[in-house]
Amino acid sequence: MNRRIYKRLSYEDVIYLHSIVEKYGAAKGCNVGLLKACLDYPFIDAYGYKPYRGIFAKAAALLYAIISFHPFADGN
């Protein structure tokens, strides 16, 4: 069986990226709990069923979670 392992973005990675965006006018701050939930969203597993298979589905799920849950102070 050929299984791929995808690198997950860490909380620190996203905070670093947001600090770069803050330099160009984004509001500072985020909801830590919501951000961590967004980062976990593409990797959910419900009774062995993984709804997001493949890197593109996981990327889409991550962006969907960030847009829907609004973890950043500036409303994304």
pLDDT tens, residue by residue, 6-39: 788 899 999 999 999 888 888 888 899 999 999 9
DSSP 27-48: PP-B-HHHHHHHHHGGG--BTT
Q: Kindly state the tokens that stand for 71.
A: 């973890």
What is the domain partition of the chain in residue ranges? 28-76
Does the CA dihedral 34-15-4-60 come out positive or negative?
Answer: positive
pLDDT at 67: 92
> 75 or 51, which is more confident?
51
CB contact set of 57 (below 8 Å; sequence gap of 6+): 42, 51
Q: What is the pTM of this model?
A: 0.81
Q: Kindly state the tokens that stand for 55.
A: 């890197």
Model confidence at 63: pLDDT above 90: yes
Model confidence at 75: pLDDT above 70: no
Q: Kindly state the tokens that stand for 26.
A: 């984004």
Band of pLDDT at residue 40, cut at 50, 70 and 90: very high
